[in-house]
Structure 1
Amino acid sequence: MRSVLLAGAVALAVALSVPAVAEDALIEVAASQEDGKIMLTLPAAGPDGIMARYLYVAQIETGVGSAATGVDRGAPLRTGIIRFRRMGKKVLAELENTTFIAPAGSAAQQASVANSFTNATLWVGDIEQSAGGKGVSFDFAPFLAMDHFGFAPQLGEGYALNEKFSLADPAKVKAFPENVEFSALLSFSSKKPTPELRNVSPSGGDVSLWVRHSLIALPDEPIAPRADPYNFAFSTYKYDFSAPLGRSMLVKLAERHRLEKVDPAAERSPVKEPIVYYVDGAAPEPVRQALIDGVGWWAEAFEDAGFIDAFRVDVLPPEIDPLDIRYNVVNWVNRATRGWSYGPSIVDPRTGEILKGSVMLGSLRVRQDILIFQALMGAGLTDSGLPDDPVAVALARIRQLGAHEVGHTLGLAHNFAASSQGRYSVMDYPAPRIELVDGKLTIADAYGVGVGEWDKFAIKYLYAARSDAEARAMVQEAQARGLRFVGDSDARGSDSANPHGSLWDDFADPVAELGRVMAVRQAALARFDANAVPEGQDLASLRRAFVPIWLLHRYQVESAAKALGGVVAPHALAGDQAAVEKVAGTDQRAALDALISAMSVEALEVPARLQPLLSYGPSTDYDYSTMIEVMPTAGGPVFDTLRATEIGAVHVLDSLLDPQRLNRLEMQSSGDAGTPSAHAVVTRLVEHADASARRGATGRRIATVIALDLARTAREGQLSRSIALQIDGQLARWADDLGKASGTGEEADWRRGLGALLSDSEKLSEAVKDKKLLPDVPPGMPI
C-alpha cells in the first residue's frame, strides 16, 4: 500500500515478557512485565541534539460508548512528526511545528522560519543507559500513560486523569521494520459525572480506555503536494514564508491517497498499488454487505478518472489489527445512544498524503432509520421484502452512508448542494425521499444508488490533475456543466445564507419542497397508530417513534428559511467568471408565506386521537437513550400535545428569527423594495400570532411562543440595534392592543396577561433569560 510500510506481521513470543520484535525493527525495544518498563534505544544525538524523527500517530483503541463525548473506538487522536532530543541526562519528546514553512527559501530563511515558531514539548524523561556515542536508552512507558489529548475536559467538567490507574502495557508492544506499536490504559474519575457518562460507566463516575501510539518511519519519497484553493477537499494548511511578494502565503494542501499510474502519461492506466478499504467484521449481516456495496461505489469514480482497478473493498480479516497504519478500515462503533458517523484520516502533515482512512460508523444509525420508517409505513412491513420494507430502505441508507464517510477519507469535503440538482453526490446529507402516490405514503425511492456526477468530478480533480492549471480547467468545465458546490461553512447553522446548500433537504426548490413535505407529514400523522412499533414492543415507545413524524419537516424548514436574506455566493478564484446573487424578492416572500404556514393551527395541532395513544406507560425515567429522544410530557405517561405545538413553533422561529438573517433582510430591503424587510417579517409574525390566538388553546400556545421568541430575539447581541428597537416598538404596540381586551374567558384573560408582560420591559427581560421559557426541540441529527 505504501513503500514505507512493509506487509506482514511478527507473531508474539511465547514469553509474556517479550513482545513482538522484528530482527530489523525500526526501533530497538525491550519491554518487561517484571517492572513495567518499555525501554527504547535510539541512535546517538546529532549536533542539534536530535536522536530520531518519526511520524507519530495516536488512536483510540477502546471507546467509552458515549456519543456525546466523541471518544469512540478507532478514532484518530493525533498525527504529527515527533522528534527525540537529548539534553544532558534527559530525553525530550517534541512535536514539530509543520504549519509554517519556506520550501523555496534559502537555508538561512528556512532556519529563520523554524526558529520563529514554537514546537511542543510533550514529555521529558530520564536517560537510564548511555552507550557512549552509540545511543541512549530510556523508559517510554511514562509518556504513553499521559493524557496528551485532553480526554479529561472532553469527558466533562470534573473529570481528571487517575494516574494510579493509568499505565502502558509492555505485553502489547509490537516492533516491526517500519513501525512500532504501543498501548496504554488511561483511567479518569469524576465525583459529578454527566448523565451521558453515568449511562455507560459501570461505577457511574469512572471511565477507562485504551490508547494506541504508533511511531512510524517517515516516507522516503513524500507525495507531491497539491493545492486546493476551492476547498473541495479536506486540506492541510500551511503558511509559506518563501512565497513571492504579492502572492498569498496561505497554502491549502489537498489531502489525498498516494495513487500512481503504471503509465503516468496515459489517459487510462492500471495503478501501481490500489487503494483498498476493509469493512469491520464486527458489522453484522446484512449491514456488512450493504457497507461493502456502498463503499465499493467509489471504484466507478476512479475508473471514470482514468485509474484502472484503483479501488477495492473487502472484509477485514480477523488477524489484522484495525488500528494498523497499513490498512484503511471502516470501523463499526457501538454507543449507548445514537450519534454521528465520521470519516477521519491519518495524514502526513508535511504533504497532505492520506496514510490511513479510519471511518467510524455508529451502529445505532441504522436502527434509528428503521424506527422512522416503521413509524411512517407501519412496522408490519419489516423484513417483508417489499419496496417499502423499513429494513431494506435502512440498508439503502447504510450503503450511502458507507460511501459518504469513505469519501471523506479519500479527501472529499461535504457538498450540500447535491440535493438541489438531483442527488449528484454522496457527499451531501440525504433526506429520505418520502412520497405520496395515490394518497398513500411510499419510501421505495428513499435514497439514491451509486456515486454521482460531482463525486466523479471531485475524484478526477483530486487524483488525476497533474498541475494546478489542469485542476482549474477541470473546475471551469464542471461549472460550465452547472455543477454546484456548497461546503460546511456555507450550509450549517441557522444563520447560513446560501439556499442551494442545506442539510437533509431535497429537490431544487426548497420552498415548494416544504409545501410537499408538509402534505407528506399530514398523511403520516393521519396514518400513525400502534402499528408504528413492532408487535410485542412496549407501547410507551410510541412516544419516541412519534417525534421524527411530528418534526418530519424540520430540515426542509431550515432549507426554506435560507431563501430569506438568501445569497448565492459561488466558490471562485480571481479571473473566474462568477457572480454573487441574492434571492429574488418574490422567492423570499414565498418562503415567508411557507414558514408562516408551517406555524398554523392546522400544522401544529396534534390530532386528538393520538393523545391517548401516546400516553401509554410506563414513563422513561430510567432509559436514558429514550429520555433524550422524546418530547417532555405533562406528567408521568400523559402526553402533552400542547407542548408538541410549542416545539413545532419554536423550531420554525429558530430559523426565521436568526439575527444574522434579519440583519441581511434589513440590508437587502434598503436597496430593493421587493425584498421583505425585517420589519415586514416581524409584522407578519405578530399578525399571525394575534389571529392564531383566536383559535383556541393550540393557537394561544403558538401566539405565546411567537411573542416570547420575538422578545428574546430583540435581546440577541448579534442583532442590529435598529432592528431590535423595531421589534420592541411592534411588541409595545401589540401589548397596548392586547391590554384593551374586554370580557372574561380564556382568550380575554390570556390577552390581558400577555399584554401586561410585554408592557413591562424589566419583567420581560427577566422572563426571556429563563432557558425553560421556551421548549428545547428534541434531537434530530443525525438521521
Structure 2
Amino acid sequence: MKCGILAASGCALLALAAMTGAPAAAQAGVQTVANADGLLPVRVNAAEGRILVTLPAPDREGISGRFLHATALRTGLGSAAIRLDHAMNGPTRILAFRRLGKKIAISFENPRFRATGDAAGQTGARESFPFSTVWMADIVSTEPDGGVVIDIAPFLTRDVMDIAGSLNEGGKGFKLVDSLSAADPGSVKIFPDNIEMEAVQTFQSETPGKEVETIASDPRQVSFVVHHSLVRLPDAGYQPRRFDIRAGGFGSQVFDFGTPLGQDVVYQLANRFRVEKIDPTAARSRVKKPIIFYIDRAAPEPVRTALAEGVGWWSQAFDAAGLIDAFQVKILPEGVDPLDVRYNVVNWDNRLTRGWSYGQVIADPRTGEIVKGSVLLGSLRVRQDMIIFEGLVGAGEDNSGGPNDPVRASLARIRQLGAHEVGHALGFVHNFAGSTQGRSSVMDYPAPRIGLTNGRIDLSDAYATGIGDWDKFTVDWLYGQPAPGVDPDAAAHAKAAALQASGMRFVTDIDGRAPDTPNPWGSMWDDGPDPTAELIRMMAVRRVAITNFGPGVLRQYEPLANLRRKFVPVWLLHRYQVDAVAKLIGGMDYAYAVAGDGRPPAAAVPAATQYAALDALLATLSATELAVPDRLVGPLSSGVNGRSDPQYDIEIFKNAGAAMFDPLVAADVAAQVTLDTLLAPSRLIRVYEQHRRDASLLGLDALLDRLMAATVDARHDAVGRRIAHRTIVTLARTARDPATSVDVAAVIDDRLRGLADRLARSAGKGEDAAWCRSVAHLLRDDERLERELAKRPRAPAIPAGMPIGGAEMGWIDEL
C-alpha cells in the first residue's frame, strides 16, 4: 500500500514548495502529503504542533465522516500491578465528526443500542441512549467542495485511555497536565484505510504511590506516548456470526430493540476476522486475505523462534476447517510499526516484575469484525518457568538439550503461551477443561506435566505440542464456511450441537477461574482426567523434588539466597491441583446448554468421588508433608545484600528475622493453600445443601469430622500445632464471613465451642497442653478472637503463583 509519512524538515519543505509552485515562505512549517489513496488529506505544521485534517463536506445530519478510533500505549509504565503496558489497547469506538456552527464536534457514538428495521425505529433506538462528545474543534478553513479543515492535535492529547484512572489505582491525585502534553506532528502516517498519530501525555501527582515511585524517573510527573488509529469503517461485505454459548468464542454485545417478539433483544455478535474462500463452493479453498500474525523483533532468540512455532499451530486448525493457508506467521519486518492497525502483532513486553500476558482485539462494535489482533507477552514469564524447572531438576541441566533441560521445557511453555494468547486475538475464550481431556485445547492454562521415571523427575512431556481437538472445532465453528445457500448461523449451530453431543467439555472463566466454583472439570494449571489421582501423584513428585532440593539447583556463582525463591514453587508444587480437587467437594457437573439439545440436567458429583477428594486434600495437611527438612534450613537462611530484584522480594516466604528461614511459616502457607479453598463459604454452603437434599452425599458434619481428625487431633509436634491453629482460625473466619449462610455458620460455631470445651480440659505442662489452653481461651474470648481474625495479613502471605508462565489477567483482554 502507498504510505505518506510526515516528517518536517527544511529540505522537504523547499521541495514541497517547488512542487506546488507556492512561495517557500507561505509553506513555512507546513508539509502536505499528496497521497490520493490516503484516508484523509493531512497537513502538519511541526513548528506550531498542528495536525490539520481535511474532512468531507457534512451530510444532511452534519456528519463529516465516521471512523473506527482505536488507541494503544506506545510507552508503558512497566508495572504488573498497574495495567499500563506497552502496546496495551484502549477501547475501540465509532468516532463521528459533526459540524455544529463554526465548530466540529468529535463524538463517540453508541452503536451497542440499535433497532433492526425501518429508519424510524433506528432513530428511536439511537436517540434513546447517549453519545459522548469528547472534543470541540474550531474550523480552520472551508474547502471549495464544502470540506472542512480542523486541527486534530488537541484531541490527541485527551486522556481517552483513562491513564489517570489507572495510575490512581496505585497512587492518588494523578491528573493530566495540559502544559506537559502535546501531539507529535512527526508521528503522523497516512495509509489508504488508516491514519496513525501520537501524542505525549503527562500526568502529575504529589502522592504517586509506591509502585510508580519504584519505576518512574520522576514519579511526580509520569509521561506516556499514546498512539491513535483512525480507521476506515469496514464495508458491508462482512457476514456477522451469532455468538453461541457452547462454542468457545466471545462477542460484542448488542441491544436490538427491533427484533421480532419471541426473539431476544440482547444478543452477542462473535468477534472474528473476515475470512473468505476464493472458491466458496469448494470444501477446501485458499482465502482472499489470510490472517497474518507478526512476531515482535524485540523478543530475543531463541524465544522469538519458539513463539513463531507455537503461534503457527493455529494453521493446523484453519487447514482442518478447509481454509488453506488462511493463518500465517511471520517475523515483523524491520521498520514496520507494531501499533499500525494493519498488522496483527505478538508484542514483547517488559515489566518490573512478572505479570499476565493477554490477547486483545480491535473490533468493529457494529458487527464484531476483528480489524486487528494484538498480543502482549510478558518477558519475565519465561524466566519464572526457568526458576521452576531449575528448582525441580537443577541448573546443571541448563542448555543441555536433554529431556530435563530447563531451557527446553521453558521454550515449550513459550510455544503454548504464544498459541494461547493469539487464540484470544482470533476470538476465542479460555477452556479450562482442556487438561481433563488429553490436553484438548491451547486455550487452557497448562500445568507442566512433571513425571517420575524410576524415582527421578522427568520433564520430557512437560507441555503438549500442536493445536488441540477443541481448538480445531472452535476454528471450524467461528471461521468455517458452509456451501453457498446454507445459512451460516444455522450451520454453526449444528456444529456446536454435534460437538456437545461428542462429550467434549468446555468450561470458561465464569466457572473455572475462581477456586470456589462447583464445576468439577474447570480449573487453572491442573492436569489429568482424574483431579484426585493427579493430586496424589503430584504430592509424590513434590516429595522427590524436596528430597533433591538444595544448593545444587543453583547456577555457578548464583547467590545462595536465591534458593529461597526457587524453593517456593517446589514447596507449593501442588497448589493448583488442590483447587481442582476441591471443586469436586460440593461439586456439580453441568454444561453450557441450550433448550432442546438433549443434555442431561446438572448433577452432583458422586459421593464416592467427593469423599476421595476430601481424603486427598486432607493428606496435604499432614505434618509429615508440611515439615521442611532440617537440612534445608541452613542453606535457605543465606544472607542477601545490595539492591535486590523486586520480584525476589514478593516471591519468598517471610523469614524469622533477617535472613533466618522460618520453616513453620512454610508450613503455615502450605496449609492455608488447602484450607482457603476447602473452607470457602460457597463450597460449605453447597456441601450443607447437597446433604440436606440427598443424605448419601458428603455433608458438613462429615467434612468437619474428617478435617478435625486430620489436623487438630493429629497434631504431634510444632508443625502439627501450626496446621491445627490455621484450621481453627480459618473455620472461625469462615463462620463470620458475610458470604457464609446462617445454617453453615451455626454448625461451625457449635463445632468450635465444643472444641474449646475439649481443649480447655487439657492437663499437663508441656507445649501441647499450653497450646490447647491458649486455643481454648482464644475461642471463648470473642474480643480476642475478633482481633486475631482482623490481623493483616490474616495469615502468612502465600507468594505469587500465577502466572506460573502463562495467562492473562483475565480472559480476552486479559489474560
Equivalent in the alignment of 2:342:
326
Q: Distance in 1 between matches of 2:32 and 2:71?
A: 19
* Contact 1:388–1:443 (Cα < 8 Å) also in 2: yes
1:251 aligns with 2:267: yes
Q: Distance in 1 between matches of 2:448 and 2:130?
A: 48
1:344 to 344, 350, 360: 360
Equivalent in the alignment of 2:55:
42
Q: Distance in 2 between matches of 1:274 and 1:772?
A: 52
1:184 aligns with 2:199: yes
2:573 to 552, 561, 578: 552
> 3-state DSSP class of the match of 2:90?
strand
Equivalent in the alignment of 1:388:
404
Unaligned 5+ segments in structure 2 are 11-28, 483-487, 805-815
| Pair 1:12–1:34, CA change in 2 (3 A) | closer
1:123 to 106, 112, 135: 135
Q: Distance in 2 between matches of 1:291 and 1:526?
A: 34
Equivalent in the alignment of 1:101:
114
Q: Distance in 1 between matches of 2:103 and 2:478?
A: 45
- Residue 620 of structure 1 deviates from its aligned partner by 7.9
Post-superposition CA distance 1:352-391 (Å, at most 9, x none): 1111110111111111101110110010000011111000
* Contact 1:20–1:175 (Cα < 8 Å) also in 2: no
Q: Distance in 2 between matches of 1:495 and 1:281?
A: 41
> 3-state DSSP class of the match of 1:388?
coil
Q: Distance in 1 between matches of 2:336 and 2:31?
A: 17
| Pair 1:534–1:171, CA change in 2 (3 A) | same
- Residue 120 of structure 1 deviates from its aligned partner by 1.4
Counterparts of 1:134-533 in structure 2, within 5 Å, are 134-155=146-167, 156-158=170-172, 159-230=174-245, 232-466=248-482, 467-533=488-554
> 3-state DSSP class of the match of 2:206?
coil
- Residue 222 of structure 1 deviates from its aligned partner by 4.3
* Contact 2:5–2:190 (Cα < 8 Å) also in 1: no
* Contact 2:515–2:523 (Cα < 8 Å) also in 1: no
> 3-state DSSP class of the match of 2:714?
helix
Q: Distance in 2 between matches of 1:326 and 1:54?
A: 15
- Residue 679 of structure 1 deviates from its aligned partner by 3.0
What code does the residue aligned with 2:575 have?
Answer: R
What code does the residue aligned with 2:146 have?
Answer: K
- Residue 63 of structure 1 deviates from its aligned partner by 1.2
| Pair 1:559–1:20, CA change in 2 (3 A) | farther
Greater relative CO (CA pairs within 8 A, separation 6+): 2
- Residue 11 of structure 1 deviates from its aligned partner by 4.2
What code does the residue aligned with 1:173 have?
Answer: V
Q: Distance in 1 between matches of 2:221 and 2:705?
A: 53
Q: Distance in 2 between matches of 1:301 and 1:607?
A: 48
- Residue 18 of structure 1 deviates from its aligned partner by 5.2
Counterparts of 1:42-61 in structure 2, within 5 Å, are 42-61=55-74
What code does the residue aligned with 2:647 have?
Answer: S
- Residue 221 of structure 1 deviates from its aligned partner by 2.6
1:581 aligns with 2:603: yes
Q: Distance in 1 between matches of 2:695 and 2:430?
A: 35
1:15 aligns with 2:29: no
Q: Distance in 1 between matches of 2:743 and 2:787?
A: 22
Post-superposition CA distance 1:424-481 (Å, at most 9, x none): 1111110000011111111110000000111111100111144222112212222233
* Contact 1:128–1:137 (Cα < 8 Å) also in 2: yes
- Residue 308 of structure 1 deviates from its aligned partner by 1.2
* Contact 2:6–2:185 (Cα < 8 Å) also in 1: no
Q: Distance in 1 between matches of 2:561 and 2:263?
A: 63
Q: Distance in 1 between matches of 2:474 and 2:164?
A: 38
Post-superposition CA distance 1:301-348 (Å, at most 9, x none): 111100112111110001211011111111111111111111111111
| Pair 1:102–1:600, CA change in 2 (3 A) | same
1:566 to 551, 567, 587: 587
1:661 aligns with 2:661: no
> 3-state DSSP class of the match of 1:774?
coil
2:88 to 47, 69, 75: 75
What code does the residue aligned with 2:164 have?
Answer: A
1:632 to 638, 650, 654: 654
What code does the residue aligned with 2:131 have?
Answer: N
Equivalent in the alignment of 1:4:
none
| Pair 1:35–1:18, CA change in 2 (3 A) | closer
Equivalent in the alignment of 2:667:
645
> 3-state DSSP class of the match of 1:436?
strand
Q: Distance in 2 between matches of 1:494 and 1:469?
A: 36
* Contact 1:199–1:624 (Cα < 8 Å) also in 2: no
Equivalent in the alignment of 1:607:
629
Q: Distance in 2 between matches of 1:541 and 1:188?
A: 37
Q: Distance in 2 between matches of 1:347 and 1:410?
A: 11
Q: Distance in 1 between matches of 2:725 and 2:63?
A: 68
- Residue 88 of structure 1 deviates from its aligned partner by 2.3
Q: Distance in 1 between matches of 2:101 and 2:32?
A: 31
Q: Distance in 2 between matches of 1:536 and 1:398?
A: 27
Equivalent in the alignment of 2:16:
none
Post-superposition CA distance 1:538-569 (Å, at most 9, x none): 11111111110011000000000000111111
Q: Distance in 2 between matches of 1:734 and 1:163?
A: 64
- Residue 660 of structure 1 deviates from its aligned partner by 0.9
TM-score of the superposed pair, with normalisation by structure 1: 0.96
Q: Distance in 1 between matches of 2:276 and 2:153?
A: 39
| Pair 1:571–1:465, CA change in 2 (3 A) | farther
Percentage of identical aligned residues = 47
Equivalent in the alignment of 1:89:
102
Of residues 41-50 and 177-186 in structure 1, the stretch that sits farther from structure 2 once superposed is 41-50
Q: Distance in 2 between matches of 1:684 and 1:166?
A: 63
- Residue 621 of structure 1 deviates from its aligned partner by 7.0
Q: Distance in 1 between matches of 2:266 and 2:778?
A: 53
Give the aligned length.
775
1:775 aligns with 2:791: no
- Residue 8 of structure 1 deviates from its aligned partner by 4.0
* Contact 2:607–2:698 (Cα < 8 Å) also in 1: yes
> 3-state DSSP class of the match of 1:343?
strand
- Residue 129 of structure 1 deviates from its aligned partner by 3.2
| Pair 1:181–1:21, CA change in 2 (3 A) | farther
- Residue 587 of structure 1 deviates from its aligned partner by 0.6
Unaligned 5+ segments in structure 1 are 1-6
| Pair 1:188–1:692, CA change in 2 (3 A) | farther
- Residue 250 of structure 1 deviates from its aligned partner by 1.8
Q: Distance in 2 between matches of 1:77 and 1:56?
A: 10
Q: Distance in 1 between matches of 2:101 and 2:413?
A: 59
- Residue 20 of structure 1 deviates from its aligned partner by 7.4
Q: Distance in 1 between matches of 2:181 and 2:655?
A: 43
What code does the residue aligned with 2:489 have?
Answer: D
Q: Distance in 1 between matches of 2:46 and 2:120?
A: 48
